[in-house]
Structures are given as structure tokens and as C-alpha cells.
Amino acid sequence: MTIHHTKGIVLRSVKYGETSVIVTIYTELFGVQSYIVNGVRSSSKKGSGKANMFQPASILDMQVYHNDLRNLQRIKEFSWAFMYQHIFFDVMKNAAALFMVELLQKTLKQPEANPDLYHFIEDAFLHLDEAKGQAIANFPLFFALHLATMYGFRLNDDFTPDTPYLDLQEGEFTKDHPVHPHFLDMPYSYITSQLMKVMQPQELNEIPLNQETRRKLLQAFQAFYVLHVPDFGTLKTLPVLQEVLS
């Protein structure tokens, strides 16, 4: 079997047997893949500390064996591709990262490469790690909106004072009050338009939002995903995130 070099972002890790884990990783080369990693939970010197590398949001550099016919692949070697300074220790950044990971778990389905999507996601986690002030609390909103754009079911940012309603079902701003309940009106539609214009995450510091506004927007963006992603369900991390951001 050929060995490939790829980076990957850990989405999920489950204990397996006495010393192993099965990890789901979004890889740069192969999209979403599952790997069995032996011996990382043993108390021996060789295994010590290695299990930490497979916590959600970790970005790894890996040598992997890959076989298209297998559901479970193997990793030959792995190391940190990037060591976070804050995400695993800062309560707010960790809550935001776990929200982002769950959003990815629910939307990344295909085991196929998409380098643009991979780099957007990796870049987002790196920016979250460096974020300061308001940008941290606004980051989940930014990520949810821009991830949808990467998937191709973006909201059309054509907000004007004459089109104050954001129809989440149709993904566009309208002048008429939608007949269904899935919409945002002022000021939430305007704020969403502002968030969509953000190109660099540090610009999020320029959008001052209070806790109630963030709560309303996060609920609306979850509803948007429910409308556009089959079997999306609800985000378990959302109540935790809202609690931490309060």
C-alpha cells in the first residue's frame, strides 16, 4: 500500500480496545477519513501524551496508508502540524472551536479532496487561536456563514434598507415579509450582511454585538443549516457556547 503525506484536522476520537483510538480526520488529500491508531493510550513511554494529539480541532502532519476500498485506514507517523497557543486552554476559544468541529462533523460527508475547503477550515482554526476581544465571540458566526459559502449554499448578500428581511429558506434578502417562520428581520438581517462582508477574521472586532444578538444569530444560522443540509439535527455545542459567551 502506498504511503501518502497529508495534513489533517481531527473531528472526532473514540477509544478502542485497551490502548487504541479510532479517529475521524478531515484530510487535505482524501477528505474525511477514519483511522485506527494503536498504542497511543498506553502508559508506556512510547504512548504517553500521544492521545492528546487526537483531540478535536488538532491539526496534524501525517504519513498515512491509504486504500480506497477500506473504511478504516492506518497512520504510519504523525506529529503536530501546528501547536495552538490558546484553543485547548482558553475556555471561550475552546467552546468556539468545538462548535466549529461539530458543524464540520455534521456537514463534511464525502471522502474526497477539496483543497480550498481544507485550507479555509485550517486557516479559520489558526485565526481563532490568535483572535482577541470581540473577534473571539463573533468567530462562530463568521465561520458558520463563510463555511456555507464554501459548500455552495451561501446567502446572497444583497441587503438594502428596501430588502430588510433575510429569508433563510431561499438564502436571500427580500422586501416582503416571508410567509414561513425561517427569516431574520432588522437589525439581525443587517448584522448578518455585515458579517458576510468580513474577509479577514480580525475585522470581527469592528462588529460590536451583545450576547442576546449573538444568541439570536446563532439560532438562526443553525436553522439555515437545518434547511439546507439533510439530517443536520441540532448542534449539541450551541447551548455550551452560548453559556460561555454570556
- CA–CA distance, 57 with 216 (Å, rounded to integer): 25
Give the pairing type, strands 165-167 and 172-174: antiparallel
Q: What is the CATH number of the domain that holds 66?
A: 2.40.50.140
Condensed to tens digits (0 to 9), the pLDDT of residues 153-169 reads 878 888 888 899 999 99
Domain boundary among 31, 54, 83: 83
- CA–CA distance, 123 with 180 (Å, rounded to integer): 36
| 74 and 136 assigned to the same domain | no
Task: Give backbone dihedrals phi and psi of 46, rounded to 5 degrees, phi first.
Answer: -65, -35
| 97 and 75 assigned to the same domain | no
pLDDT of residue 25: 96
| 44 and 90 assigned to the same domain | no
In the predicted structure, residue 89 carries a pLDDT above the cut 80: yes
pLDDT of residue 43: 61
Condensed to tens digits (0 to 9), the pLDDT of residues 158-204 reads 888 889 999 999 989 989 888 999 999 999 999 999 999 998 888 99
Domain range spanning residue 69?
Answer: 1-83
69-86 mean pLDDT: 92
Q: What is the 3 state secondary structure string of 95-139?
A: HHHHHHHHHHHHHCCCCCCCHHHHHHHHHHHHHHHHCCCHHHHHH
In the predicted structure, residue 44 carries a pLDDT above the cut 60: no
- Residue scoring higher pLDDT (73 or 125): 125
Domain boundary among 58, 83, 108: 83
| 15 and 67 assigned to the same domain | yes
Grid coordinates representing 218 are 446563532
Least-confidence region, from 2-11, 14-23, 140-149: 14-23
Helices and strands of the chain, counted as H and E runs: 6, 8
| 241 and 186 assigned to the same domain | yes
| Structural domain count of the chain | 2
17-32 mean pLDDT: 93
